Amino acid sequence: LKQADDAPEMISAKVAECPKREGKRPAPPPSIIAAKTQLVAFNPRGRSGKSDDGTLAWNLSAELDGAHNLSVDWRQDGKMETLLIEEVAAPEKPKP
């Protein structure tokens, strides 16, 4: 993107395809609970993550020149598919 998109008049929504579950969701093991309570160092060059059930994953990267990229994948029809790729170019440097 060279500039921000115009705000839409209406926002559409879609939901990732979640796996079928029988009964109540089991509690996560203590090691998972402990890991989620620990702070993770922030890497300003990039971050990534995924939902607990693995149906949504994202990746954000930032370059030293100010360019940055965001990609989001989600589960649809039983497989992971790319939902979004946003690439923002580095700002132009002022001319001397």
CA 36 to chain centre: 17
- pTM beyond 0.75: no
Mean pLDDT score of the chain: 79
Is a pLDDT exceeding 70 seen at residue 2? no
What was the pLDDT predicted at 38? 62
Region for 42 from its dihedrals, namely left if φ exceeds 0, alpha if ψ lies in -120 to 50, beta otherwise: beta
Where do the H-state alpha helices sit in 1-96? 30-37
Read off φ and ψ for residue 12, nearest 5 degrees: -90, 155
Confidence of residue 71 (pLDDT cuts 50, 70, 90): very high
